[in-house]
Amino acid sequence: MNTLSMDKKVAVISALCEGCSVRSTSRLTGVSKGAILRLLEEVGKACAEYQDSAIRNVWAQRVQVDEIWSFVGCKQKQVTAEKMEAGICGDIWTFVAIEADTKLVISWMVGARDAGFAADLLRDVRNRVANPIQLTTDGHKMYLKAVPEAFEGMAIDYAQLIKVFGNDPQAEKRYSPALCQGIEKKAILGNPDPKFISTSYVERQNLTMRMNMRRFTRLTNAFSKKLENHMHAVAPFYMHYNFVRIHQTLRVTPAMAAGVSNRLWSIHDVVSLAVPSVKKVAA
């Protein structure tokens, strides 16, 4: 790790943030796979710590929450007791909360797709926003328990966007979902504005995630082999999304639009968070 120059480190993290796999990054940069994974671990931890401290007291109006599927080691149906002992956990989900106006990813969490992890994410969202919000999720039943539990004692307008899918006899033979025939907007708590009951922005963000992290590509052999590496890869992606990448519609980064940062970050700034000898950058 110490033998890598800053330019090499920047080149590695840039490639990973642009959707390259670890092996293709190794071929492009000439850095070994082991060195890439060690750098990813250091940068991932630094990015998670920085965003945890920086994304606080966010003025949010409308928050959308969704979860995106991936897997570690193998898909769920292939998981055995022996594989679980070796650290292979099968299906894994990344919960994401995005602010609809600024497109800032306020919080994310990697875990199982259940009410416990959903409530943990939503409690984290509550601790990061500075005002009551209108919240929209999909129609998954876990949110009916998780949302009231997480926002207990806080005024919140909460609704679900429930998609209605048609019966598709070919559903088990393909990887795309059945055709959506309509949606139902269902108010659950408070008085949510029907015009803003939507999960479009968070679903679009999930697409960006699949396009910019090789681990999340469907039908790939570049999936995560260890849960720790999977989590280390998620944090730099959101750091890049929030602070480095200019949003095409906003013309600034989500962090700048939300007032979390007053300038445009570079990959060099991101890598510098994990390099003790480099002076830490300010927001």
Average pLDDT, whole number, for the chain?
Answer: 88
| Cα–Cα distance for residue pair 267/274, rounded to 1 Å | 12
**Which residue stretches of 88-217 are H helix?**
115-128, 142-150, 200-212
Which pLDDT score is estimated for 282?
55
pLDDT at 187 over 90: yes
Highest mean pLDDT among 51-60, 83-92, 152-161: 51-60
pLDDT at 135 over 90: yes
Cβ contact 201:135 at 8 Å: no
64-68, 226-230, 231-235, 262-266: range with lowest mean pLDDT = 226-230
Tell me the C-alpha to C-alpha distance, in Å, between residue 260 and each of 49, 104, 243, 265, 268: 15, 9, 9, 12, 19
- pTM score > 0.85 for this model? yes
Q: Does the 6-272 domain belong in CATH 3.30.70?
A: no
Domain segments of the chain as ranges: 6-272
Q: What is the average per-residue pLDDT within 65-94?
A: 80
| Cα–Cα distance for residue pair 73/71, rounded to 1 Å | 7
Which pLDDT score is estimated for 154?
86
Q: What is the average per-residue pLDDT within 236-241?
A: 96
Which two three-digit tokens encode residue 167? 């019966």
